[in-house]
């Protein structure tokens, strides 16, 4: 196919000033260019590819009320984060 296209281009490019004969334009010659006359006996079949796994839908969120122990842990972590941030910013730590 590539050789056929190159041949058509070589025929057309050397003499672009000439008007081609009706039905012999480069576009029509390229559209008629074929390397063989292969015809399919049956149409192409679609291949069966594995589909993406169907995930189950998420349910409503489950809330758990914070206990006194949870609140104490949260406050301890928050105070440690503040102390670390103060050290990074160059602020002197607060004596306890």
pLDDT digits (tens, 9 = 90+) for 32-52: 666 667 788 888 888 888 888
| Most confident option among 23-32, 47-56, 58-67 | 58-67
10: pLDDT strictly greater than 70:
no
- Check: pTM over 0.85? Answer yes or no: no
Instruction: Quote the pLDDT of residue 12.
Output: 63
Average pLDDT over residues 75-86: 92
Residue 38 phi, psi (nearest 5) = -65, 130
- Which range (20-29, 54-63, 67-76) has the least confidence? 20-29
* Contact yes or no for 54/61 (Cβ under 8 A): no
Q: 23 burial class (0-12, 13-18, 19+ CB within 10 angstroms)?
A: exposed
Domain map (residue ranges) of the chain: 2-32
For residue 12, give every residue at least 6 positions away whose Cβ sits within 8 Å of its Cβ, in sequence order, or none. Answer: 20, 26, 29
């Amino acid at each position: 196919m590539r050789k056929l296209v190159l041949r058509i281009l070589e025929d057309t490019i050397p003499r672009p000033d000439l008007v081609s004969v009706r039905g012999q334009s480069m576009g029509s010659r390229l559209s008629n260019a074929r390397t063989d006359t292969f015809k399919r006996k049956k149409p192409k079949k679609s291949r069966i590819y594995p589909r993406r796994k169907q995930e189950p839908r998420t349910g409503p969120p489950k809330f758990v009320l914070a206990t006194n122990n949870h609140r104490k842990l949260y406050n301890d972590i928050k105070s440690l984060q503040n102390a670390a941030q103060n050290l990074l910013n160059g602020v002197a730590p607060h004596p306890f």
